[in-house]
Amino acid sequence: MALAQGIYRLEDLLDEPAIASLEKQLGHRLAILSFFRAWNRCHIEDDLPWLENLSRCPRDILLTWEPWSLDHDASHPERQPAFALKTIASGCYDRYIRDFAHAIKPFARRLFLRPMHEMNGFWYPWCGTVNGNEPHLYQTVWRHIVNIFRDEGTSVRWVWSPYAASYPDTPANSIAAYYPGDNYVDWLAMDGYNWGTTREWSQWQDFHDLFAPAYATLTALASHPLMIAETASAEHGGDKARWIKEAFHSLHTHFQRVLIVVWFDMDKECDWRIASSRRSLKAFKECMMPEGTQPFRMTGASVNQNLL
């Protein structure tokens, strides 16, 4: 099956000219656009103009849905007890969840919905080691959200997406501890980044080493298709162009159940962009068109709409 790749960007990619410009830069046609949306005030009225715009998306959609407020202290975004798992499980946001499910129900394009991602970290309010959360509460909340969507008759592809490594790395915080069950998941996913030497705590990691342990866990956990929902490499500490080439090789040879990859294409904590250098962009384009023939596999794109 074809592999759909994606790109996380802040600019709007909802119209064909913007998509065509990106496709020209990457040398490949896009198949999926990915977006992020925070719950913020949990008023569907806040979402409706954005959702109306999104409904006209000319590609299939990967939507990451985040129960937190972006107006919180940026240095500690996880410290939002209003979005603790037990609070969501209590039903206080059921009206908002139901309204959101109703609002996206008429979408014409295929929608992959990825709520509460990277739950095995410590940087979001829904993570299992903050705000009094626990993995079993995460499972409860996940199933609760899915059931509300089912009650509304809203059909989406549910994407369950841990980070590739658990922080802290303890048995209680293991990836498998958060799995809500086969009947509540359609796609498995994982996120992971090569930070290189941009931080005191980081070192260069090739693509295979970054994802192989989580891939083994996920493929043993369930038979669902799998995606890499976020990934990128820094420039410092190694050869990014080579990292990209080895990533494509690994996807082809060792990660054959991965059908979607979303690249984080931003200059943020460090320069994650595919085009952070001419060499890295050239490597990406060469991997998309090996031996000057057909594209390696399909491609997608990702845009963070929280800040638009």
> Which one, of 222, 215, 136, 140, lies nearest residue 172 by Cα?
136
Q: How distant is the alpha carbon of residue 37 from its chain centre?
A: 11
Across the range 148-168, mean pLDDT stands at 98
Q: Which CATH number fits domain 4-304: 3.40.190.10, 3.20.20.80, 3.30.70.3270, 3.40.30.10?
A: 3.20.20.80
Q: Considering the chain, what is the average pLDDT of its residues? A: 90
Q: What are the tens digits of pLDDT across the range 43-74?
A: 999 999 999 999 988 888 999 999 999 998 88
Q: How confident is the model at residue 2 (pLDDT cuts 50, 70, 90)?
A: low
Confidence at residue 12, expressed as pLDDT on a 0 to 100 scale: 64
Q: How confident is the model at residue 83 (pLDDT cuts 50, 70, 90)?
A: very high
Map out the domains of the chain as residue ranges. Answer: 4-304
Residue of higher predicted confidence among 286 and 31: 286
Confidence at residue 296, expressed as pLDDT on a 0 to 100 scale: 36
Whether this model's pTM surpasses 0.75: yes
Give the span between the Cα atoms of 304 and 36, in whole angstroms. Answer: 5
Evaluate if residue 10 carries a pLDDT over 70: no
Q: Is 121 exposed, middle or buried (0-12, 13-18, 19+ CB in 10 A)?
A: buried
* Nearby residues of 70 by Cβ (< 8 Å), 6 or more positions away: 38, 40, 306, 307
> Which one, of 299, 229, 232, lies nearest residue 265 by Cα?
232
Q: Is 91 exposed, middle or buried (0-12, 13-18, 19+ CB in 10 A)?
A: exposed
CB atoms within 10 A of CB 92: 11
> Which one, of 217, 274, 225, 265, lies nearest residue 112 by Cα?
225
Give the span between the Cα atoms of 268 and 270, in whole angstroms. Answer: 5
* Nearby residues of 183 by Cβ (< 8 Å), 6 or more positions away: none
Give the span between the Cα atoms of 302 and 159, in whole angstroms. Answer: 15
**Least confident window among 125-134, 194-203, 237-246, 294-303:** 294-303
Q: What are the tens digits of pLDDT across the range 229-263?
A: 999 999 999 999 999 999 999 999 999 999 999 88
